[in-house]
Amino acid sequence: MRLLCLGDVVGGAGRRAIAALVPRLREERRIDFVVANGENLAGGIGVTGPTAQELFDAGVDALTGGNHTWKHKEVLPFLEREPRMLRPLNYPPGAPGRGVAVFQTPLGPVGVVSLLGRIFMEPVDCPFRGANTALSELAGRARVVIIDMHCEATSEKRAMGWHVDGRATVVFGTHTHVPTADEEILPGGTAYVTDLGMTGPYRSIIGMRKEQVLDKFIGMRPVSFQPAKEDVQLRGIIVECDPETGRASAIERLKIAYAAPAAE
């Protein structure tokens, strides 16, 4: 089984890159399942039903969430009714939506888990206990399990990789929008990378117009950020795994430029 995991998709530029590149990747690389982090789809912060649907229409099978999932209140009923859109599992009980789901593929079921870290983040419930709960729930339902660890600290992401090694197929980090070069197969058969990077405009500061972010850093006054548009790239990984055991056998880091049509 081949899994395509894509980093934080930022704004319209990221959505257009997904629409143009994912169908081709699915065909050329014989991809069986696609997961992307979707918490930055709408204007660079948050997600809405229509922006998520654009990715589903492009061939993305599941979207994971993060701390910006709740930015647009109109997404709340969408989270309740759309099983392909996840939010972090370790928000307190009563939060709308779900943080773990099983998806069917021709090669067998795939479990997806969305988690939120706590270091330099909101004081949510423990993601490590959350991972244990999710893996218990998925036992007997899906051998292949993908975990998105959405957090700031590289140490916390790395810790999650070791925590579930041999129990999950893939652990990838999201949130920083900066890709790391440490992809590997851990001893227990879990494919791991600290951060996928973003799918979006790289001539920016983590997806936002660089001039606006610089104004914020230098002037220390509130600034309204807008997504950038230039140097759009798709970033992520392709993982090969055994659907019978859930063990990963190969991991490849992706960097693909997207040349937008002149009309954009």
β-pairing, 62-64 vs 170-174, is unpaired
Return d(Cα 229, Cα 133) in angstroms, integer: 40
CA distances from 221 to 71, 190, 215, 217, 229 (A): 21, 44, 8, 8, 24
Cβ contacts of 25 within 8 Å, gap of 6 or more: 4, 31, 256
Tokens 């693909």 sit on residue: 256
Return d(Cα 90, Cα 65) in angstroms, integer: 11
* Strands annotated E in the chain: 2-6, 8-9, 33-37, 62-64, 100-105, 108-116, 144-150, 170-174, 184-185, 191-193, 198-201, 232-241, 248-257
Question: Which sequence positions are flagged as catalytic?
Answer: 68
Residue 246 in tokens:
């859930």
Q: Are 36 and 85 in contact (CB under 8 A)?
A: no
Helix axes 127-138, 154-163, angle to 10 degrees: 30
Q: Are 104 and 77 in contact (CB under 8 A)?
A: no
Helix axes 49-58, 11-28, angle to 10 degrees: 20
